[in-house]
Chain A
Amino acid sequence: MSIADAAMLAVLQLGALAGVAPLLNGLIRKVKARLQYRQGPPLLQNYYDLGKWWSRSEQVATSTSFVHRCAPAGVLATTLAATLFLPVFSWHTPLSSAGDLFVVVALFALGRALLTLGGMDSGSSFGQMGSSREVAVGALVEPILILSLVTLAIGADSTRLGEIVRVAAGQGGSAITPGWILAAAGFAVVLVAETGRIPVDNPDTHLELTMIHEAMLIEYSGRSLGMLHFSALLKQAILVVLLANVFLPFGLTAAGTGGHAIAAALVVGKVAGVGIGLAIVESVLAKTRLFELPDLLGMAAFATLLGAALVVLA
């Protein structure tokens, strides 16, 4: 792939993910509301919210430093950079040789570090509470995320996400092995935990003692708050695309084989399907107590460990 092609693909992916991410979350919220016999907010509510935040003035606490003010841009930058290593419409990625699955995981970790530091900066105990919980949950989530993706990487003999998708798409139905099932289950838990959803966190609450993500944002307002919300939406979209493309790679073709429109439609369908599934899972489960989380996350970690070991021993 030439540099011009890569740049075009990068712009396309960034634009598509950034443009659709709020809609995906709107869809999840809508489905959830309907399952609860509510009307729910309009599908486009997230766009209105972002527009509102981005046009408002902001107030920062006097006790904050440059860390607090730079964190939103930094967090958003890590999420935007992570999209460049993803296979979205085909198994081609804009930056295939510059990084692999570990880079995506590490970029998420950098985003988490900046977000938690921004939350701690004001000295508000809410922000520090959220940060404390976020890093603890993040530490348990990281092994699951890496092991579930590595399970597929061992099979594909490459850690590049595009290459993993290419190999898996070529295998068809035979890609589904016990190791694959355990890895997919582990990744689903990661999706729930990293997007701050029930049973790990509750995206619908503010100022509850169970919350994690919202607590870190408590001192943010206006434009910065909008950027942080936007990067959370984008991160959710990235993880949903990863689940849809890496674990369910059917329909993904190489660029230039003419199946672009079909591939894109399939991707959109799969992403919407994963989103609806997420909404259903969230509706039927109850929030776990924070200190009982290790049971869920530990189970997922050992499941993915077993899955990876199965692939190695096979």
Chain B
Amino acid sequence: MSAAGALGVVLLVLAIAPAFALHGGALRLRVPLWIAASGAALATVIAVRVVAGGSTIALGLWSPAPYADLALRLDPLGAAFAAIIGGTAVFASVFGTAYAHPRRVDDAAYPLFILAMLMVTGAANVFTFLVAWEGMALTSFLLVLGDGDQRPRRHAAVLYLGMTHLATVLAAAAFFLVAHEAGSTDFAKMAGAHLSGARASVVFVLAVIGFGTKAGLIPFHIWLPRAHPVAPSHVSALMSGAMVKTGIYGILRVSFVLLGPGEHWWGIALIFAGCISAILGVLYALMEHDFKRVLAYSTVENVGIITVALGAALVFRSYGLDAAAAAALLAALIHAVNHAAFKTLLFLGAGAVQRSAHTLNIDRCGGLIHAMPVTGGAVLVGSLAIAGLPPLNGFVGEWMLLRSLVSLAGSPVGSVAGATAVLALGGLALVGGLALACFVRLFGITFLGAPRSDEAASAREPHPLMYGVLATLAVICVAGGAGAPALVRLLRPVATSLLSARGAAVEPWHGIALDTGGSLSPAVIALCLVVAAPLPWLAIRAIFGRTSRSSGPVWSTGVSFRPSMQYTGVSFSKPVRLFFRRVLLPERQVLVSYHGTSPLPRLVKYSGRVPALFEERFYLPARGAAIWSAGRIRLLQNGSVQVYLLYLMAALVTLLVVAR
């Protein structure tokens, strides 16, 4: 079967899967989810082959009118993201078969959501892109809304719908500006359009804001921490692991394919935007105590890191240093792939915790690792990977990015770019340290210590299919670390197709050597750690002999231990909250009431919170202003037909005057 035919089969399979949601028996057996999983698996295989071969698959679908032409063209860039989406969808769907409650609308929308995301990455023209983009927004809106019983869920869904349409409008504007210049809406023809400097900059800014909203860049991130927690975990995993990457894909498609090398400040602006997103994202993640909100803010952080890499690539490209640009671009792609792996693992882990402990509040969990060793072990691997620690996969992309930034600082590209690189290095180092704090906190409070509630104490390992998926993803995170050179080799055709430079070489001993200098061998590091872990222990035992080990209760200064003595998520992040109080602006209220005239307090009430600054200082006033102006405009609509006729008359006269 030809590759185009296989791609057609994928689309067909995903398009008919919703039909099985109509039949009750098929719904109970989770047929739509299994079909979605197999369709996604096939899509992943096709996409990986396209990336590895550096080839392109074209497939015309339906062309009812000259301007409305549904057509796909999967090139290496799109296929790289299609592979991310497909891979994430396989794990999320299999997990969902055991996890999700059967619901007709959800199970019908779910395969269509995957289909729409895949079509976004394969769209051959603006029309197809926007149809798929809108389909992706609407199906995911349905999945976030669910039954819409609870108010927060409805609010989150509507906010998400609003933000995603802001993204659509700006992205469409960017596309149409290029299409107008090129005289075609076909991406292949649009790539040849040469926009003037100012117009290209407008397109770039529109694309970054539009696609940045979808990707979750601060300050357009506000929908993520609301929509991710309320959606079912397998949907959150898809949205966070795969869907936000379509935003990254959009930025890449516009800035690397449709636009030429462009201005120097584009990349510098992206580096700043990414740094701010990464730092604030991880700081807010540290302040949350809902497992999935922590993960949602961490997505903001990781999208920020990927954006910094894109920015570095753009700066290099604008100076004509294509080899260095390719290295930074590879860092972005590798981090995007790895983020999909560990973020899917963590979101699905959150689903397992939710099913077992019946809460997502980490302050009500604790000690889960005893009852859920497989889930706990997998989430531990995911936590270490997302904190960017070797020898796991998260470290590789971050290393490539940091090394590229050192090259940027050292290369003769002008002092502004160099100083930006230095700032980004400091910022990313801070992000690394804070991410470690964030995920030590998330794992430590949820899985270690003693249970803080009865639900946590009675937690059990979830369905074998669920923890099987988690364990598989943990293995992928480990393998993705040691086997990173294979991933570099796989993704290199993308860089070659965009920049005509490969960016990195793969050396013997499984090392990655960037073309700008610097090499890393994750396998050797992993080997060192694996050898060094048992060796001292064995040596000590050989010299000092075996010793016994006894167990006893935890020491708690002589009083009997109670789980409430433990640190909570809030107390754990207190030092960070105080260190960064000028950024986070935490609020606290202490109410003390006294017994009559007695100086001893009767009751002390303490409450504290970290305000969501962007929402409260920017979005809420903007919403207020919008509602206020809508109220003023509404005065025009007073119900009197005569007045409406007057409006028509006035409009007609105005038109005649203006268009005369």
Could you tell me which A residues sit within 8 Å of B by CB distance? 51, 54-67, 73-74, 76-78, 80-81, 84, 95, 97-100, 102-103, 105-107, 109-110, 112-113, 116-117, 120-126, 128-129, 131-133, 135-143, 145-147, 150, 153-154, 157-160, 218-219, 222-223, 226-227, 230, 290-291, 293-294, 301, 304-305, 308-309, 312-313
21 residue pairs bridging A and B, Cβ less than 8 Å apart: A58-B547, A60-B549, A62-B554, A63-B450, A63-B561, A65-B370, A76-B532, A76-B536, A77-B528, A97-B509, A99-B520, A100-B519, A103-B390, A131-B444, A135-B436, A135-B440, A142-B432, A145-B429, A147-B426, A147-B429, A150-B422
Q: Which of B425, B520, B543, B554 contacts A122 (CB under 8 A)?
A: B554
Q: Which residues of B contact A140 (CB under 8 A)?
A: 430, 433, 579
B369 within 8 A of A: yes
CB distance from A180 to the nearest CB of B (A): 15
A138 to B534, CA, bound (A): 26
Q: Which residues of B contact A312 (CB under 8 A)?
A: 409-410, 415, 418-419, 421-422
CB of A157 within 8 A of CB of B410, answer yes
B464 within 8 A of A: no
B residues 8-31 in Cβ contact with A at 8 Å = none
- Using CB atoms, name the residue of chain A closest to B389: A110
A147 to B561, CA, bound (A): 43
- Give the contact stretch, choosing among B93-101, B244-252, B354-362, B563-571: B563-571
B191 within 8 A of A: no
A116 to B567, CA, bound (A): 13
B537 within 8 A of A: yes
CB of B437 within 8 A of CB of A139, answer yes
Q: Which of B376, B437, B513 contacts A136 (CB under 8 A)?
A: B437
A215 to B57, CA, bound (A): 59
Q: Which of A103, A117, A138, A147 contacts B425 (CB under 8 A)?
A: A147
CB of A158 within 8 A of CB of B518, answer yes
Against A, the Cβ 8 Å flags (1 = close, 0 = not) of B376-415 are: 1000100010011110000100010011001001100001
Known contacts A62-B551, A157-B410, A135 near B521 by CB under 8 Å: no
Q: Which residues of A contact B370 (CB under 8 A)?
A: 65
Q: Which residues of A contact B369 (CB under 8 A)?
A: 65-67
A160 to B517, CA, bound (A): 10
Q: Which of B387, B402, B549, B579 contacts A57 (CB under 8 A)?
A: B549
Known contacts A131-B440, A138-B437, A305-B426, A99 near B532 by CB under 8 Å: no
Q: Which residues of A contact B434 (CB under 8 A)?
A: 139
- Using CB atoms, name the residue of chain B closest to A56: B547
Which DSSP category, helix, strand, loop or mixed, fits chain A's interface? helix
CB of A95 within 8 A of CB of B540, answer no
Q: Which residues of B contact A57 (CB under 8 A)?
A: 547-550
B572 within 8 A of A: yes
Closest 10 CB pairs of A and B: A139-B433, A136-B575, A128-B567, A135-B437, A123-B449, A142-B433, A312-B418, A98-B521, A77-B532, A120-B444
Q: Which of A98, A106, A121, A305 contacts B511 (CB under 8 A)?
A: A98
A104 to B403, CA, bound (A): 14
B576 within 8 A of A: yes
CB distance from B374 to the nearest CB of A (A): 12
CB of A159 within 8 A of CB of B406, answer yes
Q: Which residues of B contact A157 (CB under 8 A)?
A: 410, 517
Known contacts A77-B532, A95-B524, A139 near B440 by CB under 8 Å: no
CB of A123 within 8 A of CB of B566, answer yes
CB distance from A10 to the nearest CB of B (A): 9
B32 within 8 A of A: no
CB of A113 within 8 A of CB of B422, answer no
B residues 593-622 in Cβ contact with A at 8 Å = none
B545 within 8 A of A: yes
Q: Which residues of B contact A145 (CB under 8 A)?
A: 429
Q: Which residues of A contact B389 (CB under 8 A)?
A: 106, 109-110, 113
B residues 232-279 in Cβ contact with A at 8 Å = none
Q: How large is the interface on B (under 10, 10 to 19, 20 to 34, 35 or more residues)?
A: 35 or more
B475 within 8 A of A: no
Q: Which residues of B contact A99 (CB under 8 A)?
A: 520-521, 524-525
CB distance from A186 to the nearest CB of B (A): 11
Q: Which residues of B contact A113 (CB under 8 A)?
A: 384, 387, 389, 436, 439-440
Q: Which of A63, A97, A223 contacts B519 (CB under 8 A)?
A: A97
CB of B436 within 8 A of CB of A123, answer no
- Using CB atoms, name the residue of chain A closest to B566: A123
Against A, the Cβ 8 Å flags (1 = close, 0 = not) of B550-584 are: 11111110000101011100011111101100000
Known contacts A113-B389, A291-B575, A139 near B554 by CB under 8 Å: no
Given contacts A65-B370, A110-B390, A143-B429, 17 further A-B contacts (CB under 8 A): A54-B543, A61-B552, A62-B552, A74-B533, A97-B507, A98-B511, A113-B436, A123-B449, A124-B556, A128-B571, A135-B433, A142-B429, A143-B430, A146-B426, A226-B540, A227-B536, A293-B579
- Using CB atoms, name the residue of chain A closest to B517: A158
CB of B448 within 8 A of CB of A305, answer no
Q: Which residues of A contact B436 (CB under 8 A)?
A: 109, 112-113, 135, 138-139
Q: Which of A59, A74, A95, A308 contacts B549 (CB under 8 A)?
A: A59
CB distance from A179 to the nearest CB of B (A): 11
A154 to B418, CA, bound (A): 10
Known contacts A98-B511, A136-B579, A312-B422, A61 near B440 by CB under 8 Å: no
CB of A308 within 8 A of CB of B425, answer yes
CB distance from A314 to the nearest CB of B (A): 10
Q: Which one of A124, A135, A142, A150 has the highest number of Cβ atoms from chain B below 10 Å of its Cβ?
A: A135
CB of A313 within 8 A of CB of B556, answer no
Q: Which residues of B contact A146 (CB under 8 A)?
A: 402, 425-426, 429
Q: Which residues of A contact B399 (CB under 8 A)?
A: 102-103, 106
CB of B448 within 8 A of CB of A123, answer yes
A56 to B549, CA, bound (A): 9
Against A, the Cβ 8 Å flags (1 = close, 0 = not) of B523-545 are: 01100110011111100100111
A140 to B545, CA, bound (A): 41
B367 within 8 A of A: yes
Q: Which of B427, B534, B544, B576 contacts A139 (CB under 8 A)?
A: B576
B490 within 8 A of A: no
Q: Which residues of B contact A218 (CB under 8 A)?
A: 555
CB of B525 within 8 A of CB of A98, answer yes
A81 to B525, CA, bound (A): 8
CB distance from B444 to the nearest CB of A (A): 4
CB of A129 within 8 A of CB of B520, answer no
- Using CB atoms, name the residue of chain B closest to A100: B518
CB distance from B431 to the nearest CB of A (A): 9
A193 to B419, CA, bound (A): 27
CB of B367 within 8 A of CB of A63, answer yes
Q: Which residues of B contact A55 (CB under 8 A)?
A: 544-545, 547
CB of A132 within 8 A of CB of B551, answer no
A135 to B535, CA, bound (A): 27
CB distance from A112 to the nearest CB of B (A): 7
A113 to B387, CA, bound (A): 9
Q: Which of B403, B421, B445, B548 contacts A159 (CB under 8 A)?
A: B403
B residues 438-460 in Cβ contact with A at 8 Å = 439-441, 443-445, 448-450
CB of B520 within 8 A of CB of A100, answer yes
A126 to B449, CA, bound (A): 12
CB of A120 within 8 A of CB of B555, answer no
